[in-house]
Structure 1
Amino acid sequence: MLIKNKAIVISKVRYRDNDLIVTCFTKQKGLVSYLVRGALKSSKKSSKAVYFQLLSQLQIEENSKVNQKLQYIQEVKSDYIYKSIHTNVFKSSIAMFLAEILATVLKEEEQNLQLYEYLEVTFKWLDYQEEFSNFHLLFLLNLTQYLGFYPETTTIDAPYFNLSNGLFETQSSNTYSVSGENLILLKRLLGINFDELNTIKINSKQRQSFLNLVLLYFELHLGSFKKPKSLQVFNQVFN
């Protein structure tokens, strides 16, 4: 059955000589993997591979078959053409890093319109902005809303945050209780929108420390989560 769908590229791997297996988060069906035949053929006047850069936003027409592991894309075109994400070295590093995380945490093979719209809007925001050094911190923190473990904020004035249960607490209860600079930054980030990010001024050491905290939070709440392989390169770029 031919259906039209919108998709955001999460990962891609070469298959045989000229094909790609591309995993996308789609608007209608959640996570879907596609076999794109001939995507890497250099003899073609316009290679399909250019469409499948990480986090690209596409309009596709797919030949959808129930219970088939790999679907087939019949037609593809850009839904939104990034102006800077794939050309700015800092933004492309963010794209690679976040795509690796999304490839690990997105498991839903069903429609999730709110999550799709979150990814769609926030990546457009990143593409447009000139100040974006804290983007990945707020992006990952907000992502936990859609994954089911966003911090409970009813007791946000408490002096500790427990990573293991996602609660603000009056006492340090275990090794996962957070205080100090990371706690202050967490409270500042909770509830703000992306347009307010430029009000948060932190140095690279603080940024890296808070990122490690967020990644630990993911590990504690998602059993299959592992720190991204691109983390070291990512930190080097932003240092």
Structure 2
Amino acid sequence: MIVSTHAIVISKLRYRDHDLIVKCYTQQYGVLSFLLRGVLKSKKGLAKTAYFQLLTQLQLVIVYNPNRSLHSIKEAKLNHLYSSLHSNVSKSAIVMFLAEVLSSILKEEEENSTLFSYIETTLLWLDTHTECSNFHLLFLLNLTKYLGFYPENTTVDFPFFNLQDGKFQLKPMGPYTISGDNFNLLKQLLDTKFDELSQLKINSKQRQAFLNMMLQYYELHLGDFKKPKSLQVLNQVFG
């Protein structure tokens, strides 16, 4: 079946000598993997690989077979041409990190148009704004809305937050209760929009501590989630 769909590249892997396997999050079918045969063999093919940089937004015409794990692409073109996402060092580090997170957590071959729209629009925001040092913190927090474990905010005035339960509490209960800087920043980010991120004043130590807390939050709620290997690079860039 030949279909057209928007897609966001979340990983790519060299296969054999001249092939690529590219994993995309598609608007219509969720996560799909594609085999690009011979794309590394010729200059013309190499030019096409520029379309498959991490988190690139594409318009694809694909041959879709629900009974196969690898699909093929008949036509690919850019849906949005980024101006800075792959050329700015800070943004490139965020892209590498978030692509690894998304590749780890997005597994289903099913449509989720609201999640797709969230990823699509926030990447466009990142591409067009200069202040990005805290983007990934808010991105990860808001992403939990679509994954089913966004912090329950009916008791947001309580002085502790339990990572395992995803709830604010009156007193600490269990080993995954937080307070202090991470708690304060969590409450602040719950009320922050992307356009307000430039007003967020935290240092690199606070940023890394909160990011580690968020990754632990993901680990507690997604059984097979592991800390991204690109975390070290991200911390070096924003350290």
TM range (shorter): over 0.9
Cα deviations by residue, 1:49-108 (Å, 9 ceiling, x for unpaired): 110000000001001112011000000000001100100011000000000011111112
Structure 1, unmatched stretches of 5+, are none
Aligned amino acid, residue 13 of structure 1: L
Whether the 8 Å CA contact 2:39–2:46 is kept in 1: the answer is: no
Q: Counterpart in 2 of 1:165?
A: 165
Whether the 8 Å CA contact 1:41–1:47 is kept in 2: the answer is: no
- 1:65-104 alignment runs, 5 A limit: 65-104=65-104
3-state SS, counterpart of residue 80 of structure 1: coil
Q: Counterpart in 1 of 2:115?
A: 115
- 1:34-45 alignment runs, 5 A limit: 34-44=34-44
Whether the 8 Å CA contact 2:40–2:46 is kept in 1: the answer is: no
Counterpart Cα distance in 1 of 2:40 and 2:24: 18
CA-CA distance at 1:38 after TM superposition: 2.1
Q: Percent of aligned positions with the same letter in both sequences? A: 59
Counterpart Cα distance in 2 of 1:137 and 1:45: 36
Counterpart Cα distance in 2 of 1:208 and 1:223: 22
TM-score by length of 1: 0.98
Q: Counterpart in 2 of 1:127?
A: 127
Moved >3 Å (runs of 4+): none
Q: Counterpart in 1 of 2:177?
A: 177
Counterpart Cα distance in 1 of 2:230 and 2:66: 34
3-state SS, counterpart of residue 146 of structure 1: helix
3-state SS, counterpart of residue 142 of structure 1: helix
Q: Counterpart in 2 of 1:196?
A: 196
CA-CA distance at 1:45 after TM superposition: 7.1
TM-score by length of 2: 0.98
Whether the 8 Å CA contact 1:219–1:225 is kept in 2: the answer is: yes
- Residue 23 (structure 1) aligned with residue 23 (structure 2): yes
CA-CA distance at 1:46 after TM superposition: 6.1
Deviates more, 1:229-238 or 1:137-146: 229-238
CA-CA distance at 1:144 after TM superposition: 0.5
3-state SS, counterpart of residue 44 of structure 1: helix
| Aligned residue pairs, count | 239
Q: Counterpart in 1 of 2:13?
A: 13
